[in-house]
């Protein structure tokens, strides 16, 4: 069995595209995934599967959500090794999780965007905002908070032409801990 982490994009935001985590857990279990753990309401799921291809799992999950709800959801699925690699590559060293855990954001990408698109994205950033590209991830520091930036997932998806979903550092660290088990 391989352990995975799935990140659902844009659910339970301002009362839209609502999925209760107990229902999401039940859906994963119905699909045959085991040791399913959900974390907070934004669609983070740690689970195990005999499948060895994250894209096959993603397709199966997206189809099941579309069939069970009146909307579709983009999902990124990473095995724990891939997820931990993103966390281990965090370029910021001068932070404390307690103080900066909601100001440092990891944006997970479905594919690696081209350099020119990444440079263009930063033209939307405030002077205090910092972005460092990684492997299928972008690392942001938002000193004024994530809620005030123009660098939204919708903007990044339009400009980078990839699927994105973002989590604050506290959530990323907690998911890695849950996956360790």
Task: Note whether 168 and 95 are same-domain residues.
Answer: yes
Report the domain count for the chain.
Answer: 2
Task: Note whether 101 and 64 are same-domain residues.
Answer: no
Residue after which a domain boundary falls, among 30, 49, 83: 83
pLDDT score of 181 more than 90: no
pLDDT score of 15 more than 70: no
Task: Note whether 76 and 23 are same-domain residues.
Answer: yes
Contacts by 35-42, CB closer than 8 A, 24 or more apart: 35/3, 37/178, 39/171, 39/174, 39/175, 39/178, 40/171, 41/11, 41/12, 42/8, 42/11, 42/12, 42/13, 42/167, 42/171
Task: Note whether 8 and 54 are same-domain residues.
Answer: yes
Sheet holding 2-8, edge to edge: 34-39, 44-49, 2-8, 75-79
Task: Note whether 24 and 61 are same-domain residues.
Answer: yes
pLDDT for 114-168, tens place per residue?
A: 999 999 999 999 999 999 999 999 999 999 888 888 999 999 999 999 999 999 9
- Domain residue limits at 79: 2-83
CATH number at residue 109: 3.30.70
| CA torsion angle 21 26 32 36 (round to 10) | 40
Residue after which a domain boundary falls, among 58, 83, 108: 83
pLDDT of 20 reads 87
pLDDT of 93 reads 87
pLDDT for 47-103, tens place per residue?
A: 999 999 999 999 999 999 999 998 999 999 999 999 999 999 999 988 999 989 999
pLDDT score of 40 more than 80: yes
Residue after which a domain boundary falls, among 83, 102, 135: 83
Q: Give 180: exposed, middle or buried? Use CB within 10 Å, 0-12, 13-18, 19+.
A: exposed
CATH number at residue 33: 3.30.70.1280
């Amino acid at each position: 069995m391989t352990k995975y982490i799935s990140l659902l994009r844009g659910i339970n935001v301002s009362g839209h595209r609502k999925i209760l985590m107990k229902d999401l857990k039940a859906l994963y279990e119905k699909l045959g995934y085991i040791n399913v753990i959900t974390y907070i309401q934004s669609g983070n799921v740690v689970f195990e599967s005999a499948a060895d291809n994250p894209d096959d799992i993603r397709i199966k999950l997206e189809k099941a959500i579309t069939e069970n709800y009146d909307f579709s959801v983009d999902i990124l699925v990473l095995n724990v090794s891939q997820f931990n690699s993103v966390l281990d590559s965090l370029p910021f060293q001068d932070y404390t999780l307690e103080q900066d855990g909601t100001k440092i954001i990891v944006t997970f990408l479905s594919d690696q965007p081209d350099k020119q698109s990444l440079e263009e994205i930063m033209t939307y950033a405030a002077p205090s905002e910092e972005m460092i590209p990684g492997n299928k991830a972008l690392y942001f520091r938002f000193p004024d908070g994530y809620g005030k930036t123009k660098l939204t997932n919708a903007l990044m998806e339009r400009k980078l032409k990839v699927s994105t979903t973002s989590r604050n550092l506290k959530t990323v660290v907690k998911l890695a801990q849950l996956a360790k088990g």
